[in-house]
Structure 1
Amino acid sequence: MAKTSTIAKPSIKNNYTKIAGVTYALIIIIATFPTMIFDLGTLLKNANAAENFMGQEGTFRVAIAIEFLMFVLVMVLSWALYVLLKPVNKNLALFGLIFRFGEALLGCVAIMFILTVLLFLTGAEYLQAFEPTQLQGLARFFANLYGVSYDILLFIMGIGGIAYCYLFYISRYIPRALSVWGMITYATMVAYGFINIAVHNAPSELAYAMAPGALFELSIGLWLMFKGISVTP
């Protein structure tokens, strides 16, 4: 009786897997910097928000520029994953591309909202027609829009992420356990975004459910960078 042997699938590391891996890892690393640099919500709660801002404008703008760079990388990631997964199912890969690219565009809109907040706090001459309390109120309004845009963004991101992880799952390009982890991770983002849209003042503790997502994106990024994808010979 002939012995059966298990032949490991060859691992492939091409430009697209490397680009996807690097951008996955960079996105999650970069995402931590803006919140480490400043807390806009706390700033706007202070009565002298404009004065505090004037002394730290450069720091705030650097943080916002970093966040903008993150969304540019999301665009690159969306493209790389589409090219990588198109041979598995072109239509579903396109579906994922639309939603992940939509995430990046919504992120750019969020950046516009936060830049508008900064404009209200600059003390520019044309803003002297407004009372300080009015300017601070407008700044908080656009800061809230920034937060709402993130709720929508997470919902859109989650749908695209589930589609891509499902394609990874059926293709076995990466370990199926990693693909399932990704689908669960992105499902929590969909749920979190939807709950925050549907429920007024949803519990902030819900955000903790997304914590494993950061580890997943770093893990899949490192896997694609160093292991590549497995294909049937």
Structure 2
Amino acid sequence: MTNLEKECSNQRTVAIAGGIAIIIMALAAGFSYGFVLEQIAIQGDTDATFQNLLSSEGLFIAGIAGWLVILLCDIVVAWSLYIVLQPLHKNLSLLAMLLRFAYAGILGIAILNLIIVTILINNRASFLTTDSFPVMANVFLIAFEMTWWIGLIIFGAHLLIVGYLAFQSDFIPKLVSILLWIAALAYMLIHAFYFFLPHWNAFTSVLEAVLTIPMVFGELGLGIWLLMKGGKSSDVRDKAAIK
């Protein structure tokens, strides 16, 4: 096997790993955020959230496990995209990887807030009054969400660069790059609104509902491309679309 063949084989393996990680991450996010957090955290109702935590502690812990899976998958995807896209523009690919690593680090900090909630649940009789526990648990749930919002703004910047590189290539479908751009702008706009303009939450929720499809299918499309075709073409090495 020539060096070129080995390089192509390695890139294909990395692309498959990235595609699988994106799909696993989407499934885990659907469970941990779309199901578990939505079931347990009742916005504006501290007592109901408290009761849900007590009655669904196992589900909440499973949700945390899902977030840890997402964190690991993000690291794999960041590395995979760098390997696949760096022939187009090494510095921009490196920046995209570092931004996704930064997002993963912020997500890790956010997850710590959920772990603290489980600690509070297990030790509430030791150092908390019945009245204070619901408030403290809710504070850490809010801290998780707000920390994650900051990370998602950075995640959007990462997708913006990936979408740009994808658009400049001649081997990634243009539809994927356009969806990535839309998703990138949606992530940055929506979560900047949630964090900096909380009194606009009703408007932001509507905006999020409208942009959910491109937000989901942007990266999912990239994941499917990585899984099916990523790293196959020698164009990845032989054609640098950006100088």
TM-score range, shorter chain: 0.7 to 0.9
Q: Which runs of 5+ in 2 are unaligned?
A: 1-7, 239-243
Say whether the 8 Å CA contact 1:31–1:67 is kept in structure 2. yes
Output the amino acid matched with 1:153: G
Q: 1:53·1:122 contact (CA, 8 Å) conserved in 2? A: no
Provide the residue aligned with 1:136 in structure 2.
134
Aligned to 1:92: 92
**C-alpha displacement of 1:206:** 2.5
Further displaced range: 37-46 or 55-64: 37-46
* 3-state DSSP of counterpart to 2:171: coil
Note the C-alpha offset of 1:123.
4.3
Deviates more, 1:86-95 or 1:114-123: 114-123
RMSD: 2.3
Counterpart Cα distance in 1 of 2:132 and 2:90 = 51
Instruction: Tell me the SS of whatever aligns to 2:91.
Output: helix
Judge conservation of contact 2:117–2:137 (CA < 8 Å) in 1.
yes
Contact 1:99–1:159, Cα closer than 8 Å, also in 2: yes
Sort the Cα spacing of 1:124 and 1:15 in 2 relative to 1 into closer, same or farther, 3 A.
same
TM-score of the superposition, structure 2-length normalised? 0.82
Task: Spell out, residue by residue over 1:110-142, the C-alpha distance to the aligned partner (whole angstroms, 9 max, x if none).
Answer: 111112122222344432xx3212111111111
Answer with 181-190 or 208-217: which moved more: 208-217
CA deviation profile, 1:64-112 (whole Å, cap 9, x unmatched) = 1011111110011001111111111111111101111111111111111
Match of 2:186 in 1: 188
Compare relative contact order (CA 8 Å, sep 6+) and give the higher one, 1 or 2. Answer: 1
Quick one: which amino acid aligns to residue 159 of structure 1? A
What TM-score do you get using the length of structure 1 for normalisation? 0.85
* Number of equivalences: 221
What one-letter code is carried by the residue in structure 2 that aligns with 1:27? M
Q: Summarize deviations over 1:165-200 as a string: whole Å, max 9, x none.
A: 211211223112211211111111111121122212
2:35 is aligned to 36
Q: In structure 1, what is the equivalent of residue 16 of structure 2?
A: 18
Residue 46 of structure 1 deviates from its aligned partner by: 5.5
Q: 2:5 maps to which residue?
A: none
CA contact (8 A) 2:49 2:138 kept: no
SS at match of 1:42: coil
